[in-house]
Amino acid sequence: MNRTAQPEDEHSRAARAADAFHQLYGASPDGVWAAPGRVNLIGEHTDYNDGFALPMALPQTTLLAARARTDGRLRLHSAQGDGRITDLVVADLAPGVVTGWTSYPAGVLWALAGAGYGIGGADLHFDSTVPTGAGLSSSAALECAVAVAYDELYRLALTGPELARIAQRAENGFAGVPCGIMDQMASVCCTAEAALHLDARSPESHRQVPFDLLGQGLRLLVIDTRVTHDLGDGAYASLRAGCERAAALLGLPALRDLPAAELPRALRALPAELAPLVRHVVTENARVGEAVSRLEEGDAAALGPILTAGHASLRDDYRVSCPETDLVVTAALAAGAPGARMTGGGFGGSVIALVEAGRQDAVGRSVTEAFAAAGHRPPHILEATPAAGARRLVL
Ligand code: GLA
């Protein structure tokens, strides 16, 4: 089984990032911050419908060593990049000026400046263990690391949800990705050993729901299929537009406002192409509520069937699954996992599987064998525990 190693001790990673910063920029950083990637337990494609989600932060983080500058320059470097330092001027930042990974951090400065915050430049060095292209929100981790660092460096005193909104604006307005707010809320506001109950209409009201995965004899596998279907980019925007059109046809501010009891009538009233989208969103919001209740009762194993039902809804109604994610879910369930589903936006990316402690290798092996039999590259498998959100690290 190709299981990724557990994250290296954060202190030594932070010290290494500070050393690398010194070598690059000739001075010590003002601090080192960390922001995690995420998996979403349930509540997919609900955030931009003003609905509910239940993400948790991953132990994998993006570290940022940063030092404020007084001359308005922004310099960026990543340990995972091509070795070059990107040199920009904060006052010149505008959508389209920067492309590639640097658009996420630069976009945060653009969003802060646009919101009227008095910020200056900085030297930044990133070092990340969040897998990229796996649907685990590596871009949100980049944005949120910058947001929390800038909050401190420039004494902005923003709340977690305010920082998440800035990071989302960077992604929407600067990087050009029309995402909702879930990934950024997860990266900023999650806490260890809990899932985040998010109401996307009022992110300020988020709640921590205890998720004692290990204590209840369970493990969570994150299985990266290593496929990304190109369809994803345009499809996300058009699904979002379809939901907005359906809400408008129903005379509602957002699909979140459609009560489950009125779903059958709404489905009859809507055009055939929109009805399944609405059915997914309404039933998915209900699944979030159910999952939160089960966790609050201390019954994490009861999440299993909820996850699997969520996958069926994403596959059959929302149609954002793909053969590879379906195959992982089927193989994990056949190997005895109590529940499994694709996580994130879809069209590839990762699957989460809830498994009983001790069954990780067996489930991982079955998935890997099923992948080999279908001619796919072996998936990357890691074990996740609910970890902390963005924070400053002590050096
Ligand atoms: C992506 C987006 C999120 C959310 C999910 C689907 O991860 O960034 O805002 O919409 O897809 O739940």
Q: What is the DSSP string of 314-328?
A: IIIII----HHHHHH
Kindly give the number of the ligand 1 atom that is closest to the alpha carbon of 180: 9
pLDDT tens string 304-330 = 999 999 999 999 999 999 999 999 999
Rounded to the nearest whole angstrom, what is the distance from the C-alpha of residue 239 to the centroid of ligand 1?
Answer: 11
Q: From the candidates 47, 183, 199, 224, which is the catalytic residue? A: 183
Task: Read off the pLDDT band of 7 (50, 70, 90).
Answer: low
Quote the pLDDT of residue 394.
87
Which residue do the tokens 């910063």 mark? 21
Are the beta carbons of 332 and 288 closer than 8 angstroms? no
Distance CA 301, CA 28 (A): 47
Residues in CB range of 117: below 8 A, 6 or more apart: 154, 156
Which tens digit of pLDDT belongs to each residue from 9-51? 889 999 999 999 999 999 999 999 999 999 999 999 999 999 9
Atom number of ligand 1 nearest to Cα 177: 8
pLDDT in tens, 340-388: 999 999 999 999 999 999 999 999 999 999 999 999 999 999 999 999 9
CB count, 10 Å around CB of 344? 24
The residue type of 222 is V
Model-level pTM? Answer: 0.97
CA atoms within 13 A on the CB side of 102: 24
Is the CB of 44 inside a 6 Å radius of any atom of ligand 1?
A: yes
Percent of the chain with pLDDT over 90: 95
Q: Decide whether any atom of ligand 1 lies within 6 Å of the 48 Cβ.
A: yes
User: Is 183 one of the annotated active-site residues of the chain?
Assistant: yes
Task: State the pLDDT at residue 73.
Answer: 98
Other beta carbons less than 10 A from residue 156's beta carbon: 18
Q: Which structural domains are found in the chain, ordered by start?
A: 10-210+387-393 (3.30.230.10), 214-384 (3.30.70.890)
Q: Are 45 and 320 in contact (CB under 8 A)?
A: yes
Q: Which of the four pLDDT bands, split at 50, 70 and 90, describes residue 3?
A: very low
Given the DSSP bridges, would you call strands 348-356 and 218-228 parallel, antiparallel or unpaired?
antiparallel
Quickly state the pLDDT bin for 142 (edges 50, 70, 90).
very high
User: 295 and 195 in contact (C-beta within 8 Å)?
Assistant: yes
User: pLDDT tier at 2 (50, 70, 90 boundaries)?
Assistant: very low
Residue 183, pLDDT score: 98
% pLDDT > 70, the chain? 97
Give how far the C-alpha of residue 177 lies from the chain's centroid of Cα atoms, to the nearest Å: 13
**pLDDT at residue 229, rounded to an integer:** 81
- The predicted-structure confidence for 238-256, as pLDDT tens digits, reads as follows 999 999 999 999 999 999 9
The protein residue whose alpha carbon is closest to atom 2 in ligand 1 is 179
- What is the pLDDT of the chain when averaged over all its residues? 96
Q: What is the pLDDT of residue 231?
A: 65
Q: Are 156 and 165 in contact (CB under 8 A)?
A: no
Cα-flanking dihedrals φ and ψ of residue 16, to 5°? -65, -40
What are the backbone dihedrals phi and psi of residue 120, each rounded to the nearest 5 degrees, phi first? -120, -160
Mutate to test the pocket of ligand 1, among 40, 179, 228, 350 (most ligand atoms within 8 A of CB): 179
pLDDT at 219 over 50: yes
Contact 341, 329 (CB under 8 A): yes
Residues 263-279 have a mean pLDDT of 98
Q: Can you tell me which atom of ligand 1 is nearest the CA of 46?
A: 12
Residue minimizing CA distance to atom 8 of ligand 1: 179
pLDDT of 260 reads 97
